[in-house]
Structure 1
């Protein structure tokens, strides 16, 4: 089985390293759409980097940007809600038993729609203000902190279906995602 190499830089401007991950998400989504690629490996890589990215962002970046007044509470909360929605869509993708079914293709497109929306919005409403309102020194510190946490999560293998289930359930319990409807 082919595995995708997930870059693990240890330093950089937080805006630049987050943007690098956004471009990686787009590449992996293209791989998931292609019947000629190793879809299973692309799915595993996307799950790992997407979970590590989002969890580290919420822990290390959003809070600090709020403290620096680069973003408001609303932007941070909205980003967290979109992470939760993306994680829920990721779980649906991970729960597909095969990679050559319509269910898989639909799950890829659902995740891609949510992820592309989030990437665009985050780049405009969080990363642009961070670039404009936060000093280079602070962005470098945030980048190192975010990367350290992201890389730690990647080393732990954070993107298994079981772990994504736990993250999605936590979002439901905390009210970030609406409660599951009764069957």
Structure 2
């Protein structure tokens, strides 16, 4: 992972921190599409930061925004469903043997579609209310909690194939993803 240094902030406005990760996801997706890039390193970096980011949002950010009435239970649950869909697309990408196949390219596009949809929706329906309904002090507190959890998950190798498989299996079990036997 020499080519991709994942930023590890420890504080800041949670909205800005999440937006910085969203821009990082977009840059990594561009590299995954680029045949001259180190696609293996980009895939590993995206897996690590995507999983750490989403898991930290679900445990530290969404519940706090719900308690502050900035977002509804439905918005938080929808965000979790979209994380699950993105994680499932990430798993398909991680399971590709090589990075120079049509299967890999298709998996990159499936992940990009899921991720771009989620980023757009989250920025409008979760981050905008966080900007307007939650004080700067609370956003800073959430930023510290979110970055601490995100960094802990990065340290633990959250983006490993084994961990992503477990997260996707749990999402199926919890009903966040439909049972799709035909994909097995």
Matched, 1:153 2:153: yes
Structure 1 unaligned residues grouped into runs of 5+: none
How far the C-alpha of 1:181 sits from its partner, in A, is 1.8
Aligned to 1:35: 35
1:81-128 alpha-carbon deviations (Å, 9 max, x no partner): 000000000000000000000000000000000100000000000000
Partner of 2:139: 139
Contact preservation (8 Å) 1:2, 1:38: no
Looking at structure 1, the residues matched to 12 and 155 of structure 2 have their Cα atoms a distance apart, in angstroms, of 19
How far off its partner does 1:179 sit? 1.6
TM-score, with normalisation over the residues of structure 1?
0.98
Counterparts of residues 96-115 of structure 1 (less than 5 Å): 96-115=96-115
Q: Secondary structure at the match of 1:93?
A: helix
Which residue number in structure 2 is paired with residue 44 of structure 1? 44
Q: How far did residue 2 of structure 1 move?
A: 4.0
Structure 1 segments (4+ residues) deviating >2 Å: none
The residue number in structure 1 matching 2:79 is 79
Normalising by the residue count of structure 2, what TM-score does the alignment of the two structures yield?
0.98
Q: Is there any run of 5+ residues in structure 2 with no aligned partner, and where? A: none
CA-based RMSD of the aligned residues comes to 0.9
Task: Tell me how far apart the structure 2 counterparts of residues 178 and 118 of structure 1 sit (CA, whole Å).
Answer: 18
Cα distance in structure 2, aligned partners of 1:57 and 1:170: 17
CA distance in 1, matches of 2:2, 2:107: 21
